[in-house]
Structure 1
Amino acid sequence: MSSQSVQVNVDDGIAYVLLNRPEKMNAINYAMFSELDSAIKSIKADPTVRAVILSGAGGHFSSGLDVKSVMSAPMQALKLLFKLLPGNANLAQRVSLGWQTLPVPVIAVLEGCCYGGGMQIALGADVRIASTESKLSIMEAKWGLVPDMAGLVALRQIMPKDQAMLLSLTAKVLESHEALTLGLVTQVSKTPMVSAQQLAIQLMQTSPDAAAAIKLSINRSWTASIRSLLCRESISQIRLLLGKNSKIAATRQLKDPQKSYQDRQSGW
């Protein structure tokens, strides 16, 4: 699946999602919001995808919201923010939160600028690998706005409250190693795309059903009650034991390390 603002290419089980407005440092306009939302849905429906690598074209992940483009079209701004119920995710929030709903690991490769809305999108990934030269910021306060793209869902799990508060209030621009120290990124690499590809291949050595169940369990249970955590673990384990990929995993460990997994079960 390819479009003007977002390109998706699936190769050997890895879905490469590319933010593709290099002339604008991948600033996010309405088309990119819409195309990212569609990309997430298409990947979710493809059982052959085992991992996602999300990156930006032209040496930058994203400079954030294309304010001029969005504000010049009031109807598009309304479409970004519209939701039937306050607790539902709108289009702007789905391009961050949506990555967490995928039953496969999502790795964001952060090069150059990763500001504002770009940072919110990256926070939706399971792993963020930043280049040694990248700069990151929760920048909405600089524009008189609140971070409203659901990035706080991940931010509150990876960073102490006081640090998240300071970064959001000050719109401070962080060097990659400082972001690593604070927990905003997972890893810093001189070659982040190579590191992401190596990690994706490593993650693909385990059962796709187990990966989906683990991601679901961690995301849903991280702040849930112990009772709901225990319930989810038991249900997932029964589903895995009844599936074919758990038997293939045992075969790979005991007899044939090269035996291929089947496509992921539906329903994860």
Structure 2
Amino acid sequence: MSDATHLTPERYVTLSISEHVADVRLNRPDKHNGIDWKMIDALLAVQQELHARARESGLRAIVLSGEGPSFCAGLDIAAIMGDAARVPQLLVAGANGCAPQRNTVQQLALGWRDVGVPVIAALHGNVFGGGLQIALGADIRLCDPDARLAVLEIDWGIIPDMGISVTARGVRPDWLHELTWSGRKVEANEAQSAGLVTRIISSPQEEALALARQIAGRSPSAIRAITRLYDEALAAPEAEALALEAELQSSLLGRAEQTECIKAKLEGRAPRF
């Protein structure tokens, strides 16, 4: 895939694609990437573009990060309430091109999964409220040691509603209750204990891009099969999970990509897909 760079309207989100990896960056640094109406529109536009590119090209991984001092400090309430008449529209299922079972704010977090490739979030600075919920939509979250994370919706008398009932299933329930009830801000180590982040690393964006490139060098068919296996089998009854495991393995064995993996391993080189 050739290099490409795109800027959304108002440049609130940037998108660069190189070597099968999409580098998506929230780009409202002076506001800690706070989510206003333009940021919402920009994020939805990038998700739609990535979904289209995944179907027609060789996109294999996504890195999601934020420019400036923070990943995302959450909803910019003042900006959002500047057009309060639009707020109810955010909760209408199927609006703005969303799937029938999702509304706009849920799409902001869950839409990354629709692309069908691994998504890695690189977190630093403030990762609050909607920012944390967007990050939970990623498959992997790499976190700077000095980052602070929080679920702050309780401060506004509301619940976290950006798909967290789906994306936080790997978070310890007791931690999730406490953080959601209290709005307490936690450091990276505590967030990792809760299951909010995958790894703590001093250069999360750099590491996320390196990991994405590593994943992009693996068999795309195997990556898709692994994704489907974990998405469907982990919550399925044992018999269904084991049947899916065997079905997916059978779909890979002896095919061109799997044969290339074997040849590359034996020849001591990187596989070519």
User: Is there any run of 5+ residues in structure 1 with no aligned partner, and where?
Assistant: 262-268
Partner of residue 137 from structure 1, selected from 150, 170, 176:
150
Spell out the pairing of 1:121-136 with structure 2 (5 A cutoff): 121-136=134-149
Structure 1 letter corresponding to 2:161:
D
CA shift for structure 1 position 87: 7.2
Aligned residue number for residue 5 of structure 1: 12
- Report the Cα distance in structure 2 between the residues aligned to 1:169 and 1:252, rounded to whole angstroms: 52
Q: With structure 2 as the length reference, what TM-score do the two structures score? A: 0.88
Structure 1 residues 2 and 141 mapped into 2: Cα distance closer, same or farther (>3 Å)?
same
Structure 1 residues 71 and 199 mapped into 2: Cα distance closer, same or farther (>3 Å)?
same
Structure 1 residues 70 and 183 mapped into 2: Cα distance closer, same or farther (>3 Å)?
same
Structure 1 residues 245 and 189 mapped into 2: Cα distance closer, same or farther (>3 Å)?
same
Aligned residue number for residue 237 of structure 2: 225
Structure 1 residues 55 and 255 mapped into 2: Cα distance closer, same or farther (>3 Å)?
same
- Report the Cα distance in structure 2 between the residues aligned to 1:13 and 1:161, rounded to whole angstroms: 36
- Report the Cα distance in structure 2 between the residues aligned to 1:221 and 1:20, rounded to whole angstroms: 37
Spell out the pairing of 1:92-241 with structure 2 (5 A cutoff): 92-157=105-170, 159-241=171-253
Cα deviation per residue 1:104-135 (whole Å; 9 max; x = unaligned)? 21111111100000000000111111111111
Cα deviation per residue 1:33-54 (whole Å; 9 max; x = unaligned)? 2222222232233232221110
CA shift for structure 1 position 206: 1.7
CA shift for structure 1 position 32: 1.8
Q: Which moved more, 1:40-49 or 1:87-96?
A: 40-49
User: Is there any run of 5+ residues in structure 2 with no aligned partner, and where?
Assistant: 1-5
- Report the Cα distance in structure 1 between the residues aligned to 2:198 and 2:251, rounded to whole angstroms: 30
Partner of residue 71 from structure 2, selected from 55, 61, 64:
61
Aligned residue number for residue 3 of structure 2: none
Structure 1 letter corresponding to 2:81:
M
Residue 120 of structure 2: SS of its match in structure 1?
strand
Aligned residue number for residue 32 of structure 1: 39
- Report the Cα distance in structure 1 between the residues aligned to 2:234 and 2:81, rounded to whole angstroms: 37
Cα deviation per residue 1:212-232 (whole Å; 9 max; x = unaligned)? 111122122222223432343
Determine if contact 2:217/2:271 at 8 Å carries over to the other structure.
no
- Report the Cα distance in structure 2 between the residues aligned to 1:60 and 1:118, rounded to whole angstroms: 10
CA shift for structure 1 position 69: 1.9
Determine if contact 2:94/2:102 at 8 Å carries over to the other structure.
no
Cα deviation per residue 1:191-214 (whole Å; 9 max; x = unaligned)? 111221222232233201111111
Residue 65 of structure 1: SS of its match in structure 2?
coil
Paired-residue identity, % = 32
Residue 18 of structure 1: SS of its match in structure 2?
strand
Structure 1 residues 77 and 162 mapped into 2: Cα distance closer, same or farther (>3 Å)?
same
Cα deviation per residue 1:126-175 (whole Å; 9 max; x = unaligned)? 11111111110011111111000012312122x22111111111111011
Structure 1 runs (4+) deviating above 4 angstroms are: 84-87
Structure 2 letter corresponding to 1:218:
Y
Determine if contact 1:97/1:151 at 8 Å carries over to the other structure.
no
Structure 1 letter corresponding to 2:7:
S
Partner of residue 90 from structure 1, selected from 103, 116, 131:
103
